[in-house]
Chains A and B, each alone.
Chain A
Amino acid sequence: MPMIQSHEIFKIFGNKPERGVERLRSGATRDDLRKDGLTPAVMDASFDVGEGEIFVVMGLSGSGKSTLIRMVNGLLMPTAGSMSVAGEDITRLRGKDLRRVRREKVSMVFQHFALLPHRTVGENAAYGLKVQGLNRSEREKKADVALQLVGLEGWGGSLPGELSGGMRQRVGLARALAAETDVMLMDEAFSALDPLIRREMQDQLVDLQHQLGKTILFITHDLNEAMRLGDRIAMMRDGRIVQIGTTEQILNDPANDYVAQFVQDVDRTRVLTASAIMEAPVALLGSEQGPRAAHRLLRENQLSSLMVVGRDKTLHGIVHEHEVAEAVQQGTDDLDGVLRSATTVRLDTTLSDLISAAAESPAALAVVDEHGKLRGVVPRVTLLNALGDPTTVVEHVGPEQKVMA
């Protein structure tokens, strides 16, 4: 079951907002309602966030992101629709029950850190634990662990005012981690930070997420940030979610002109990764096979090199056509003499890093996972294709000819 489930959520500000929902459902526009003094901030928003997923909501300022995220932990109550988090139906909870869910199930990180200036870093990190009613020694122990996770070991006794912006937000992050909730909400958590610090925090968040498996709902107005962090991204515009998809889906198949215009300036080399563009290898050579088999495979598939893998797909190396041909002529029976090391990249290597790797080797790049197993290959042609804009129209001059991809 998804950790966060938002079903046709509406939030309208103003007097007697319920009347706005019906009108919106029957086709009234946002401006129609504005004339009557109603502000529809979120309209008909449905999405699911799976366990352990980083789900990013991306949109310009005023598009309703903060309103949406505040309905997940009940800081704002939806005008219509249902919202559940970690199996609790937030829209039905009030007072005590709502506070219990906030203490136990869902924590939050704020744009301007929202730390208590008169409390130490340690006390701030332990804030949620204090509300949970833990005793002092337990609080200190858990807060220390959380501070260590975010790289603030030893800062527990300082005041927030003595820390830089990036460090303060680490305290905000530590406070949310210390509460040990499964779900974390982050509203423009990195938007107030310098670009370099921001990159660092993004990387750290991804690391922490891998380590702890939190479900994260992350809000941003920065598409690059959305694409770096998000397993999936919801694009929001004027209170509505206009597209939900992975980075690749949004880049390569924008739902409408608005999204297309948004993504056209994205630096694709920094957001697209090997996993997005890699291909299944046309042919593979088993490590127990010999030069003859290699030669046949190379010829049949018109390849110049072949990846060599074990039975469990562990990558052993690569063989090249001219060396295989030589070995066949000399009648060698095993691959030892011709097996070379393949240039490998990881699933999450970005395009810009793939380019550097490709410069080192004329053969295709091998994409391997953390266990060293081959997951795909990136031939040079594929890399070049990915670099270009898929919508660009290319003109050809000369006689019509089939090009081998």
Chain B
Amino acid sequence: MSVPTSQFEETGVPRVPVGDGIEAVFDWVNENLGAFFDLVSDAVSGATETLADVLNAPTPLILVVLFAALAWLVKNWKFGVVSFIGLAFIISVDQWENAMTTLALVLVATVIALVIAVPLGLAAARSDSVSNAVRPVMDLMQTMPAFVWLVPMVTLFSIGVGPGVVATIIFALPPGVRLTELGIRQVDAEVVEAGHAFGSSPGQILRGIQLPLALPTIMAGVNQVIMLALSMAVIAGLVGAGGLGGAVTSSISQLDIGLGFEAGLSVVALAIYLDRTTAAVGGGAATRARRISGALGRILGRSGTTAAPVPAGSRT
């Protein structure tokens, strides 16, 4: 490849053929690993479509009532009512099927993203060199404009749900890694030391001390992963992933303002529902787990671990 001298003369900086290089890499990958990517594409789109079918099977209103009940359970009755109104709105603008398709895509992408992100975050928390290697990659994944991921995805997976899910995973992954690492690193070093001092193995310390204490932070990461996945899932409509994104895309191509807003507001309703529910689950995870296990204990006739009651009025 010859260096175009005109550019060098104008700016004093030679033209570096980054674009050509990356294209060559993707072409090579596509030619040699095409079969593998087809497999991945089939698997994720199969999972997404199955889940979408399941979500679309019952009468929409029944599902809305179930979702609203869940919102009530994790937060309070007010949020249950708000959820009901928001989700019923999606039915009323005739976007329910699209919304469930998008939800399916978000859930599949989130689960896969977390399966990758949490172990990676744990490894990064454990070793500074892993952390240093992972950080720039995460920065690149997150700050690259979302659209840019779509093009190579299409070359690798062709049009459809597959590239939509994979692009969504890439875009949504980083906060899962970051907040897992942060959560684990934030755990009081003295408590971890106590684990070692009483002879716990690294696995016991991870399960009994680090993960439970990092859980609120990790759940904040899960919340962010879900929200990023939702925003990317809409953009993925451009590559034929369907759902609300598909409706938005066709509203743009048809200059259909009404459809655009109906789909857009449905995204907003879904976003609010997902955000508040996961935030409520994350924020109260530890206390709720205690409350539930305490209640179970009482039902089974034991109070907590030790049988003795707390002496009344002696707390300081």
Contacts and interface: CB of A to CB of B under 8 A. Distances in A.
Interface of A: 73, 75, 99-104, 107-108, 110-112, 114-118, 120-123, 126-128, 131-132, 136, 140, 143-144, 147, 153-159, 162-164, 167, 175, 179, 185
Contact of A122 (B188, B190, B200, B305): B305
Given A118-B289, A126-B305, A132-B199, 4 more contacts: A112-B188, A118-B213, A122-B304, A143-B306
B30 interface: no
B305 A116 contact: no
Nearest to A179: B198
B78 interface: no
B197 A118 contact: no
Interface stretch (B113-121, B161-169, B242-250, B307-315): B307-315
Nearest to B316: A164
Given A132-B199, A162-B315, A114 B304 contact: no
Interface in B269-308: 286, 289-290, 303-308
Interface in B184-225: 188, 190-191, 193-194, 196-201, 204, 208-209, 212-213
A157 B191 contact: no
Nearest to A147: B306
Contact of B309 (A99, A121, A128, A154): A154
A112 B190 contact: yes
Contacts of A155: 308, 310-311
A29 to B, nearest CB: 30
A99 B310 contact: no
A114 B188 contact: yes
Contacts of A104: 199
A102 B305 contact: no
A193 to B, nearest CB: 13
B194 A114 contact: yes
B197 A73 contact: yes
Contacts of B191: 114-116
21 contacts: A73-B197, A75-B193, A99-B201, A100-B199, A102-B196, A102-B197, A102-B198, A104-B199, A107-B198, A115-B194, A122-B306, A131-B200, A144-B306, A147-B306, A154-B308, A155-B308, A155-B310, A157-B310, A164-B316, A175-B198, A179-B198
A167 B315 CA distance: 10
Nearest to A98: B199
Contacts of A116: 191, 208-209, 212-213
Contact of A154 (B190, B213, B286, B310): B310
Contacts of B307: 140, 156
A111 B197 CA distance: 14
A153 B201 contact: no
Contact of B199 (A115, A128, A136): A128
B190 A114 contact: yes
Contacts of B289: 118
Interface of B: 188, 190-191, 193-194, 196-201, 204, 208-209, 212-213, 286, 289-290, 303-311, 315-316
A235 B198 CA distance: 28
A263 B127 CA distance: 45
B193 A156 contact: no
Contacts of A158: 310, 315
A208 B227 CA distance: 55
Nearest to B308: A154
Contacts of A164: 316
A292 B77 CA distance: 97
Q: Which of B190, B305, B306, B309 has the most CB of A within 10 A?
A: B306
Contacts of B310: 154-155, 157-158
Contacts of A136: 305
A164 to B, nearest CB: 5
A104 B197 CA distance: 11
B305 A118 contact: no
Q: Which of A73, A118, A128, A185 has the most CB of B within 10 A?
A: A118
B254 to A, nearest CB: 54
A208 B315 CA distance: 24
Nearest to B304: A157
Contacts of B193: 75, 110, 114
A140 B208 CA distance: 18
A266 B211 CA distance: 46
Nearest to A143: B306
Nearest to B311: A154
Nearest to A155: B310
Contacts of B208: 116
A140 B306 contact: yes
A118 B310 CA distance: 17
A261 B188 CA distance: 36
A110 B213 CA distance: 18
Contacts of A121: 306
A132 B213 CA distance: 22
Contacts of B303: 157
10 closest cross-chain pairs (CB), A and B: A156-B306, A122-B306, A103-B199, A102-B199, A114-B194, A108-B197, A157-B304, A114-B190, A128-B198, A99-B199
Given A99-B199, A110-B190, A128-B198, A120 B316 contact: no
A147 to B, nearest CB: 8
B34 to A, nearest CB: 45
B212 A118 contact: yes
Nearest to A185: B197
A127 B198 contact: yes
Contacts of B209: 116
Nearest to A136: B305
B276 to A, nearest CB: 24
A115 B190 CA distance: 9
Contacts of B200: 99, 131
A131 B204 contact: yes
Nearest to A153: B308
Q: Which of B196, B290, B307 has the most CB of A within 10 A?
A: B196
Q: Which of A99, A103, A153, A159 has the most CB of B within 10 A?
A: A99
